[in-house]
Amino acid sequence: DFQRRAGGLEVRATGGSMPPIYVLRKDGRLDQSQISGVPLGLIRTADTSFDELTLRLEPGDTLILMSDGLPEIVNAADQMLDYDRMEERLSWLDPALPAGRMLQQNLRIGDDWAEDEALKDDLTIVVLKARA
């Protein structure tokens, strides 16, 4: 859910047990927020509740959402990229890039790590840039 607020955007997210939600701030700082709970659609019971998270994005901030496919990419030595290495690489991204280029750079993180190894998992990345 997105709501325009004075000078920015408020984002509400619901879900659980996937990679953190990342925000690359316009000043280059990488923030992360985790939503706990069972993955959406895994359990079909009426009493399943999900955490809700509210984030504030200022113009120039970039929201990065992904499946676990990116941090779980393996290379020829069968080493997983993992969250620490992935987050380090996310923090290297230029926050001034438009969303499309930022998406390409996120995909490049996985390609560079995997070298020529085939992808063994699904990979979903969504990049949203907050505008004025």
Closest CA to 112 of 84, 89, 92: 89
Question: How far separated are the first and last CA of the chain, in Å rounded?
Answer: 18
* Eight-state DSSP code of residue 61: -
pTM (2 decimals)? Answer: 0.86
Per-residue pLDDT, 14:
77
pLDDT tens over the chain, length 132 residues? 667 777 778 888 876 667 899 999 999 999 999 887 666 666 666 566 667 888 999 999 999 999 889 999 999 999 999 999 999 999 999 999 999 999 999 999 999 999 988 888 888 999 999 986
